[in-house]
Structures are given as structure tokens and as C-alpha cells.
């Protein structure tokens, strides 16, 4: 087909693909997607693939959801973009209110009122509602920008509070917060981040609670939370230099689906409070139901000071991100014009009306279909199957939190000796899966399974069958 040949050649001629060795890409034949439906995507040859990684962790309710398609079309009929710098727009306003409402429900049942609009608080204590001054939504367009905003906000917060010297951040080894330089500075995945070392600002690194490969060589049952103790000692020594801690709650996704032991996140929150360090929760991968609750922090009743959201926010349709700040953080930025307390940050497409309209429709579906209730049996199914898969000879650990799963392949099951990364074991399984009609993208030796939340029992079974076969065939 001439069209096919033209597209393949033109892709290779002009596109530089992200996180891709282009020499290998040029030697292969690109798979070119032209259509999607539900949990499947179709290439230009007409072959359908199960979307096993939700189009890189963004898709929530499936492709071509009528409600989201319609909402975007309706918004196109009004206006596609107008700026939030000096103006506002209708979907951005409605979405901000909606998100703060969800935050109120998710976090205020936990005894902290900072995510609840003041009007709501006033009703609670039986006084007349004042002009609401709730937590605030700061818009941007992708996960990395949401993180940049959070870091700058936390840094500037302390300046406005008159606290000097908080010029650094605390993050975890194996953390991934995006690809812009601030986000890379707080990142901890050497293979992606090390090369940029000379460009990065100073941060402190606490050990990732990666129990399967615990740096201290202990096991979670009797380690006495050694990684919490290490974070404690870093904070004890350096808290005066640290503006904020940034963390992916419960799951370090791009680090290889590393699942935190129970209680770890709560312990981290307590340390932040004790040492006067803001807590930034990067829920970009974990947010919007992926862990089985709307937000991962809910599992441990943890209330962060700043929250970053993106990816699933629009159901995987359009780029949009928000950085949420508690009323306490926001209020520090209020002052007379000449005091220069303004938050000087903003992107051209901030609060894009089409993306906000898609996000509103996505949230409607969560409510209408009780998405969080619907996925619970899917999570149990995936746990049963992962337990089976973990018995395979070359699987070191098959772990999950909700519908985020990672299967770590190892050369030696008994010792956990990893395959050399050059062996591309993860990719070999992914290539096998692609042949069989499943698209997945591994992280090193870890096979990632993160389907849209709309996945059916049959589709999930099919995905895990193919992966199991693939692991057996390749190892
Ligand atoms: N934070 C986390 C936890 C992520 O997983 C990602 C992306 N995988 C990002 C930030 C960056 O998001 P984006 O790719 O949209 O910049």
C-alpha cells in the first residue's frame, strides 16, 4: 500500500521519537496507529492491539468515549483556546471547582480541612458562609510542568513566610517526576537522569523503599523501617535547607512499579510535618483511580500540601495538568502588588478549554459508571494472575497496587540476579506480546501492565495470558 510505505518512510525521515534509540527505530518498521476503540488501538494494516499501558498511562475510560468526544466537539463549537493570563474561561472554572470538590471528599474525611472550601467549613461549624477561599488549582499542560510549578511554589512559599535557606528538595532514589530540568533534579533513575547531572540543582536523596532489592539487604518484616530512619536522619540534619519533599505516593511507576510497604507514606508525611518541610505528592501516574482509590494518598489517609495531577485527568485525550496548593500555601502569595509575591509562572496553553471540557466529561464518567467500584473485581483478578505469574522460573517479583502492575524478570530466581540490561529481556517479551496483539512498554527488566480502567475481565485475562506466554517463551 503506497500510503503505508509513505507513512513509514516519512516517519523515519522526520520524527525523532521520545526515549527511543533512533538507530534501532530506523532499522525497524514503525507501527503506525490510526484508530482506537475501547481498550484497543488499530494500526494502518488493520491489526488491533490491546492497549496494555493505556497509551503510556493516560487513558482511563477507553478510546473514543462518546461522552468525551461530544464534550470536546461541543467546546470546539464555542472556543478552542483562550488564555488564563488576564482572562478566565468557562471549562477551566468549572473544572477547578470540581477538582477541589473531589479533593475535599478524598482528603477531608481524614481530619484535615485544608482541601475543603471555606464555605463548606463554615457550614460544618454552623457559621455563615463567607466568600470561599479554598485550596487552589494552578493549571499547566503536562506532568513535568505540574512538577516544575510545585517545586517553584514550594520554594517561593518559604521566602514569603520569611524563612531563609530552604533552597533544596528531598526526593527518593528510583523517583521519576518528568523530563524538564527541575523534575530531573528531583529524579533518581540513573539511566535517564545521570547524564544531565552537571545541569541539575542540588537535592537530597532518601532511599527508595524497594523491598525486593532493599539496599540494606533486609526484608520488610524485620527491617524496622530502615528507609524511614534514613529519611529521618537526612531531615534531622538538613531540614533547614529543604523546602519540600516530593514523592510518587505508593508506587514509583517509571522506577519499575516499585510498591511501597504499608505505612511508609504515612511515616513520610509525619516526618515532613515534624521537620517543617512541605510534602508534594506527584499523583501524575497514580491519580484518577489507578491504585483502586481516586488518589493514592487516600490509602494511608495522607494529606499533602501540594498535589500534581496530569495524565488521566482528561481521560487520556488532551494534555492538561494541575498543581493543587492548600489554602495555607496559596495565602502566602497574597500581598500588595509592589511586594512581588506574585507567582511568576504560566504557560501559553494553561487551562486550555478543550482539555478542561474533556476532563469534566472524564469526571462525569467516573461518577456515572462508578468506575472505582467497577474496577475492584478487576484488581482482584489481576492479583490472582500475578500470584501465578510470580511462580515462573524467571520472575523475581510480580507486584501491583490497583491496576498498576510490574513483573520483574530475573536471570536467577533464588538470588534475584538481574538480567543484563543490554539483553533487553523486557523488550523481548514486549515484542512477543505485540505479535500476539498486545501493546506494552517495559521499563528495563520490568514488564508494565497498566490497562485503561475500562478494561473488561476478558481483555485483562487476555493481556495477562499473552504476557505469561511471552515470559515463558522468551526466558
Ligand atoms: N511524574 C510521574 C510520576 C510520571 O509518571 C510522569 C510521566 N510518566 C511525569 C511526572 C511526567 O509527566 P509528563 O510525561 O506528562 O511530562
Does 143 sit in the ligand 1 pocket, CB within 6 Å?
yes
**149-177: per-residue pLDDT in tens?**
999 999 999 999 999 999 999 999 999 99
Does 186 sit in the ligand 1 pocket, CB within 6 Å?
no
Q: How far out from the chain centre does Cα 445 lie? A: 20
pLDDT score at 122:
41
Average pLDDT over residues 22-42: 97
Q: What is the DSSP letter of 46?
A: S
Does 252 sit in the ligand 1 pocket, CB within 6 Å?
no
Q: Round to whole Å and give the CA distance between 367 and 373.
A: 10
Does 182 sit in the ligand 1 pocket, CB within 6 Å?
no
Give the three-state DSSP class for 193. Answer: helix
Torsional sign, CA 229, 234, 235, 236: positive
Q: What is the DSSP letter of 443?
A: B
pTM: predicted TM-score of the whole model, two decimal places: 0.95
pLDDT of 126 strictly over 90: no
Pocket test for ligand 1, best of 177, 259, 281, 318 (most atoms within 8 A of CB): 177
DSSP string, 30-50: ---EEEEEBTEEEETTS-EEE
Which residues in 91-160 belong to E strands, given as ranges? 136-140
**10-20: per-residue pLDDT in tens?**
999 999 999 99
Does 178 sit in the ligand 1 pocket, CB within 6 Å?
yes
Q: Which grid coordinates are listed for 266?
A: 504515612
Average pLDDT over residues 441-467: 98
pLDDT score at 440:
98
pLDDT score at 112:
52
Q: Which grid coordinates are listed for 366?
A: 467516573
- What is the Å distance from ligand 1's center to 145 Cα? 9
Residues 6+ apart with CB under 8 A from 110: 298, 301, 302, 303
Query: What stretches of 213-279 show up as alpha helix (H) in DSSP?
Result: 226-238, 264-275
**380-414: per-residue pLDDT in tens?**
999 999 999 999 999 999 999 999 999 999 999 99
Amino acid at each position: 500500500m503506497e500510503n503505508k510505505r509513505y507513512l513509514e518512510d516519512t516517519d523515519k525521515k522526520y520524527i525523532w521519537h521520545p526515549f527511543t534509540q533512533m538507530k534501532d527505530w530506523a532499522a525497524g518498521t514503525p507501527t503506525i496507529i490510526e484508530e482506537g476503540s475501547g481498550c484497543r488501538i488499530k494500526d494502518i494494516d488493520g491489526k488491533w492491539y490491546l492497549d496494555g499501558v493505556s497509551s503510556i498511562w493516560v487513558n482511563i475510560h477507553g478510546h473514543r468515549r462518546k461522552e468525551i468526544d461530544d464534550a470536546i466537539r461541543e467546546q470546539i463549537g464555542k472556543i478552542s483556546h483562550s488564555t488564563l493570563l488576564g482572562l478566565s474561561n468557562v471549562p477551566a472554572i468549572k473544572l477547578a471547582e470540581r477538582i477541589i470538590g473531589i479533593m475535599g471528599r478524598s482528603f477531608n474525611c481524614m481530619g484535615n480541612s485544608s482541601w475543603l472550601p471555606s464555605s463548606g467549613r463554615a457550614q460544618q461549624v454552623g457559621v455563615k458562609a463567607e466568600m470561599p477561599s479554598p485550596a487552589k488549582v494552578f493549571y499547566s499542560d503536562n506532568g513535568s510542568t505540574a512538577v516544575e510549578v510545585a517545586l517553584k511554589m514550594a520554594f517561593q512559599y518559604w521566602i514569603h513566610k520569611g524563612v531563609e535557606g530552604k533552597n533544596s528538595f528531598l526526593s527518593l532514589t528510583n523517583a521519576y517526576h518528568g523530563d524538564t530540568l527541575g523534575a530531573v533534579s528531583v529524579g533518581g533513575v540513573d539511566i535517564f537522569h545521570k547524564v544531565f547531572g552537571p545541569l541539575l540543582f542540588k537535592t537530597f536523596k532518601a532511599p527508595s523503599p524497594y523491598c525486593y532489592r532493599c539496599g540494606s539487604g533486609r526484608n520488610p518484616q524485620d527491617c524496622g523501617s530502615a528507609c524511614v530512619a534514613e529519611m529521618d536522619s537526612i531531615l534531622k540534619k538538613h531540614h533547614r535547607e529543604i523546602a519540600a519533599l516530593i514523592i510518587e505516593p505508593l508506587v514509583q511507576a517509571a522506577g519499575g512499579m516499585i510498591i511501597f510497604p504499608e505505612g511508609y507514606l504515612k511515616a513520610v508525611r509525619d516526618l515532613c510535618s515534624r521537620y517543617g518541610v512541605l510534602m508534594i505528592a506527584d499523583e501524575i501516574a497514580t491519580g484518577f483511580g489507578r491504585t483502586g482509590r481516586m488518589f493514592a494518598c487516600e490509602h494511608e489517609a495522607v494529606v499533602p500540601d501540594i498535589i500534581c495531577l496530569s495524565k488521566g485527568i482528561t481521560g487520556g485525550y488532551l494534555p492538561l495538568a494541575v498543581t493543587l496548593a492548600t489554602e495555607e500555601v496559596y495565602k502566602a502569595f497574597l500581598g500588595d502588588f509592589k511586594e512581588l509575591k506574585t507567582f511568576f509562572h504560566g504557560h501559553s496553553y494553561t487551562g486550555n478549554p478543550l482539555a478542561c471540557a474533556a476532563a469534566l466529561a472524564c469526571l462525569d464518567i467516573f461518577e456515572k459508571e462508578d468506575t472505582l467500584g467497577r474496577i475492584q473485581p478487576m484488581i482482584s483478578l489481576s492479583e490472582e494472575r500475578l500470584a501465578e505469574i510470580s511462580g515462573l522460573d524467571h520472575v523475581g517479583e510480580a507486584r501491583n497496587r490497583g491496576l498498576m502492575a510490574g513483573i520483574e524478570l530475573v536471570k536467577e530466581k533464588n538470588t534475584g540476579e538481574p538480567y543484563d540490561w543490554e539483553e533487553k529481556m523486557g523488550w523481548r517479551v514486549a515484542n512477543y506480546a505485540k505479535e500476539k496483539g498486545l501493546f506494552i512498554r517495559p521499563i528495563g527488566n520490568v514488564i508494565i501492565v497498566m490497562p485503561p480502567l475500562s478494561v473488561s475481565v476478558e481483555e485483562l485475562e487476555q493481556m495477562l495470558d499473552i504476557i505469561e506466554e511471552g515470559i515463558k517463551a522468551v526466558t
